[in-house]
Amino acid sequence: MLAALALNALIARLMAPVPLPPAPALPEPTPITREVRPERGRTPGYFLHTRQDPRIGGRLGMGVVGFLGPLVPARAGFALDVVLAGRVPASRRQPMFTLFPELGYSLAAGAKHSRGHLFTAGLGLGGTDRGIGVALIPRLVTGSLLAQRALGVRSGLLVEVVKVGGVGFTLDHQALLVAGEWSHAVIFTLFVGLYGPGER
Amino acid sequence: MTRTLTLLLAVLAACAPSQRRLLAARHYPEALAGVDEGALDGGAVLSTIAGDLELGAHLQAVPSDMLRAALPGSPAGFDDLALVRVIHDSHTIPLAKYEVSLALLQAGAPVPAVDTSIAALARRSGETLPKDQVIEHEGTTDYRLVVRTRRPLLEIFARVLVNVATVGLLHPVVPIVRDHGSPAYSEVRSPTPDDYAQMSPAAESLLRWLTPAACDRPGQRCEQYVLWPRELTGPLELLVVVRIGWYRHGALLYRVPLPPGPLEQGLLAVFGDRMRPLDELTRAAGQRPQLTYMLPEPEFAGESLTPRSRKDLCARLGGGRRRPGLLSRPELRFTLELGEQVTGGEQQALQLRAALLACGVSAAQIELAEVDGYDLGLRVHHAFDVTAPDRR
C-alpha cells in the first residue's frame, strides 16, 4: 500500500509541469466603476432572419358540421374540405407574419337530404414559426345548400403543424344566405396537409 | 399605449424595426446584422456601441531591472525590450464579444514587430533550445496463413500445391502466408513545453506571459503582455483597434499620442496609476476616435456599376430628410478594397471611384488597397462622437 502511494507520488512529480515564475507583479491601477447595461426586451429578430420562400400545397380535412337554426333540417353532418393553400411569409421576424391564401371545395352532408357543395376562397392572416402555423381566415363561400343557391362567408381559426407534411385543425363559423334566409353553421375539421418547399 | 399600438401596427405591417429603437433597447447583435445588410447606419450603430462599452485601458511597462529579476537566470538580453502589461475592460453590454488589439506607431507607421518566437527569445536569453527527439521504431514481422474459404486445410493444401508446382513464381498471386507486421520507421517528436521550460526557462517564461488568455466578453477584465522596443525615438502613438462582435468588418480605432521620451515614461505620463477611458484619452490629445465598416457590396453589370447601385451610393452619401448622409461625417475617408482574385477589378474600382466623385466625395478622400479575396468592397472611415441614444 505504502509502496503504491510512493510510486504514485513519484509519477505525479515526474509528470507535473515544470514550474515557471509568474509575470512580474506590477501595482494594480485604480479601476473604473463598471456596470451591467442589459438589453431591454426581446430583440425583434428582423435582421437576424431572412425572409422565407412562399410555400404552396394543400390539405384534406374531415370533421363535423353543426347546423344552427331551423333552415337546415339536420342538426349535424359530415364535413369534408379539399383545399389548395399557400403560405406567404410577409415578415422576417419570428414568428413570421404570414398570409394564408386558399381555394377550396367543401362538402357538408347531413341527414334528411341536407347536402351542401360549396366553393371557398379566402385570405388568412397569421403567424408561422418552424412549421407551426396559426391563422384567422375569412373566406367567401358560394355553391349550393339544400339544392338551392347559397352565398356567404366562412371565417375561423386554423392551427397546423406542417413542415413538409403535417396535421392540424380548423374551427369555423359559416353564414350562408339560402333562398333569402341566413343559415348558420359551425364546422370543425381535422386535416392532413402537404406543402413544398419544406420548412427550413 | 401609443408605443404598444405602434409596435402592433409595425408587426402587422411586417416592417423592419427602426435603428433608433434597436439602439435604445441595446439590441446590438441585431443592429450589427442590419449594418452588415446595409439597412442601418454603421456609424450610428458602432458609435452607440462604443459609448455603451466605454472601453478603459491601462498600459504600464515593466522596468528592465524588474523584468531581469523575474526571469530565471536574470538574462540581460531583453534590456532593449519593454514588456508592457495591458489591462482593458468595459461595461457589460449585450454583445457576444469584442476583441482588442494594440499597436505602437512611430511617425504614423507601426514599429517593427519584435520576434517573439521561442528561438528568438532563447537567442536573447542565451539559452539552448531542446532538440527534436528522433525515435527509431524497429520493424516487426507477423506471418499469418492466408485462408479465405471455409475449408482451411483444403485451401492451404491447394495453395502449397500451386506454389510447389510453379516453383514459387505465383506466390504473389496465390500466397500461402502474408506478413501483417509493420516496417521500421523514424518518429520525430518536437519538444514539449516542459522540455522548453527545463532547457530555456527564461525564453519559455516570457513566451507564456506573452500568450494572451482568451478574454473577449464585454465586462471582463482582460490582462495581456506585449513586447515592444524600449528605446524608440520620434513621436510615438498607441493604436487600439476594437473589433465588435461577430461583425468582423467593423472596428473602432483609438489613437493615443505618447509624450516625447522613453516609452516607459510616456506610458506612465498618459495612464498614470488608473484605468483611463480610451475615448477620453484620445480627445484629451486633441484627436477624435475613428470607426470603420464596410458599405454594402456594389453591384456591377460587367465592368460598370449598375444604375441602382449608383443611386443607392449617392443616397447613402447625401442622406435624406430624416437621416444625414455620410458626407456630413467628420474626417471621412473611403478605401476601395480590391480583392486580388477579382477579374476586371481595376476597371470596376475606377468605376466605383468615379461614382464616389460624382456623388460629392473629393479625390483626396479615396484610396485604393489590394486585399486578399474575390470581391471589390467599399470601406468607410470617419471620426465619431459618442452620443447616448434616447432610451425612453
Residue B311's identity, in one-letter code, is K
Among A14, A26, A51, pick the best mutation site for testing chain B contact (most B Cβ within 10 A): A26
| In the predicted structure, residue A193 carries a pLDDT above the cut 60 | yes
Beta bridge partner(s), residue B62: B83
The reply to whether B198 falls in a domain is no
- Contact residues on chain B for A34, CB-CB shorter than 8 A: 89-92, 219
The reply to whether B94 falls in a domain is no
Beta bridge partner(s), residue A136: A125, A157
For cell 371545395, name the residue: A105
| In the predicted structure, residue B13 carries a pLDDT above the cut 70 | no
Q: What is the mean pLDDT of the segment spanning A1-22? A: 71
The pLDDT assigned to B382 comes to: 95
Cβ A26–B60 below 8 Å, yes or no?
Answer: yes
Among B9, B74, B275, B391, pick the best mutation site for testing chain A contact (most A Cβ within 10 A): B275
- The percentage of chain B sitting over the pLDDT mark of 90, rounded to a whole number, equals 56
Q: Is A51 on the interface with B (CB under 8 A)?
A: no
pLDDT tens-place string over residues B105-125 = 998 889 988 999 999 999 999
In whole angstroms, give the CA distance from residue B99 to residue B45. Answer: 17
Q: Which of A155, A154, A146 is nearest to A180 (CA)?
A: A146
| In the predicted structure, residue B338 carries a pLDDT above the cut 80 | yes
In whole angstroms, give the CA distance from residue B290 to residue B239. Answer: 11
Nearest residue of B to residue A91, measured between CA atoms:
B14
Helix (H, G, I), strand (E, B) or coil at B383: strand
For the entire predicted model, the pTM comes to 0.75
The reply to whether B10 falls in a domain is yes
| In the predicted structure, residue B234 carries a pLDDT above the cut 80 | no
- Contact residues on chain B for A135, CB-CB shorter than 8 A: none
| In the predicted structure, residue B201 carries a pLDDT above the cut 60 | yes
Average model confidence (pLDDT) across chain A: 89
In whole angstroms, give the CA distance from residue A80 to residue A61. Answer: 6
CB A95 within 8 A of CB A83: no
Residue B260, phi-psi category: left (phi > 0), alpha (psi -120 to 50), beta (remainder):
beta
- Contact residues on chain A for B26, CB-CB shorter than 8 A: 37-40
The reply to whether A1 falls in a domain is no
The pLDDT assigned to A8 comes to: 75
The pLDDT assigned to A166 comes to: 87
Task: Give the A:B interface size as CB pairs under 8 Å.
Answer: 118
Helices B201-210 and B118-125, interaxial angle, to 10°?
130
Domain count, chain B: 2
Tell me which residue in B12, B193, B205 faces A97 most closely, judged by beta carbons: B12
Average model confidence (pLDDT) across chain B: 89
The reply to whether A8 falls in a domain is no
Domain limits for position B161 = 141-181
When mean pLDDT is compared across A140-149, B13-22, B87-96, B379-388, the lowest value belongs to B13-22
CB B263 within 8 A of CB B82: yes
The pLDDT assigned to B136 comes to: 92
Cβ A20–B85 below 8 Å, yes or no?
Answer: no
| In the predicted structure, residue B321 carries a pLDDT above the cut 80 | no
For cell 339560402, name the residue: A178
The reply to whether A187 falls in a domain is yes
The pLDDT assigned to B9 comes to: 56
In whole angstroms, give the CA distance from residue B238 to residue B232. Answer: 13
The pLDDT assigned to B290 comes to: 95
Q: Is A41 on the interface with B (CB under 8 A)?
A: yes
Nearest residue of B to residue A31, measured between CA atoms:
B275
| In the predicted structure, residue A167 carries a pLDDT above the cut 90 | yes
When mean pLDDT is compared across A167-176, B12-21, B227-236, B301-310, the lowest value belongs to B12-21
Identify the burial level of B218 via C-beta atoms within 10 angstroms of its C-beta, where 0-12 means exposed, 13-18 middle and 19 or more buried: buried
Query: Quick count: other Cβ atoms within 10 Å of Cβ A79?
Result: 25
Identify the burial level of A3 via C-beta atoms within 10 angstroms of its C-beta, where 0-12 means exposed, 13-18 middle and 19 or more buried: exposed
Residues 6+ apart with CB under 8 A from B3: none
Query: Quick count: other Cβ atoms within 10 Å of Cβ B64?
Result: 17
B194 — pLDDT class (breaks 50, 70, 90): confident
| In the predicted structure, residue B270 carries a pLDDT above the cut 90 | yes
Rounded to the nearest angstrom, the minimum Cα separation between A96 and chain B is 8
The reply to whether B374 falls in a domain is yes
The reply to whether A159 falls in a domain is yes
pLDDT tens-place string over residues A45-68 = 889 888 888 999 999 999 999 999
| In the predicted structure, residue A12 carries a pLDDT above the cut 80 | no
B304 — pLDDT class (breaks 50, 70, 90): confident
Q: What is the mean pLDDT of the segment spanning A115-133? A: 91
The reply to whether B392 falls in a domain is no
Domain limits for position A126 = 55-195
The reply to whether A46 falls in a domain is no
Cβ B92–A35 below 8 Å, yes or no?
Answer: yes
Identify the burial level of B371 via C-beta atoms within 10 angstroms of its C-beta, where 0-12 means exposed, 13-18 middle and 19 or more buried: middle
Q: What is the mean pLDDT of the segment spanning B194-202? A: 88
The reply to whether B235 falls in a domain is no
The reply to whether B23 falls in a domain is yes
ipTM of the complex: 0.76
| In the predicted structure, residue B238 carries a pLDDT above the cut 60 | yes
Distance of CA A145 to the CA centre of its chain: 32
Q: What is the mean pLDDT of the segment spanning B138-145? A: 90
Domain count, chain A: 1
A199 — pLDDT class (breaks 50, 70, 90): low
Rounded to the nearest angstrom, the minimum Cα separation between B209 and chain A is 6
When mean pLDDT is compared across B121-125, B298-302, B387-391, the lowest value belongs to B387-391
CB A19 within 8 A of CB B194: no
In whole angstroms, give the CA distance from residue B29 to residue B35. Answer: 10
The pLDDT assigned to B320 comes to: 78
C-alpha cell recorded at residue A140: 367567401
CATH number at residue A133: 2.40.160.20
- Contact residues on chain A for B70, CB-CB shorter than 8 A: 21, 23-24
The pLDDT assigned to B365 comes to: 94
B8 — pLDDT class (breaks 50, 70, 90): low
A9 — pLDDT class (breaks 50, 70, 90): confident
The reply to whether B213 falls in a domain is no
The pLDDT assigned to B45 comes to: 93
In whole angstroms, give the CA distance from residue A128 to residue A97. Answer: 7
For cell 412562399, name the residue: A54
The pLDDT assigned to A165 comes to: 85
CA atoms within 13 A of residue B56's CA, in its CB half-sphere: 20
pLDDT tens-place string over residues B54-76 = 999 999 999 999 999 999 989 98
The reply to whether A33 falls in a domain is no
B304 vs A149: which has the higher pLDDT: A149
H or E element that contains A190: strand A181-196
Q: What is the mean pLDDT of the segment spanning A90-108? A: 91
The pLDDT assigned to A118 comes to: 95
Helix (H, G, I), strand (E, B) or coil at B207: helix
In whole angstroms, give the CA distance from residue A53 to residue A89. Answer: 7
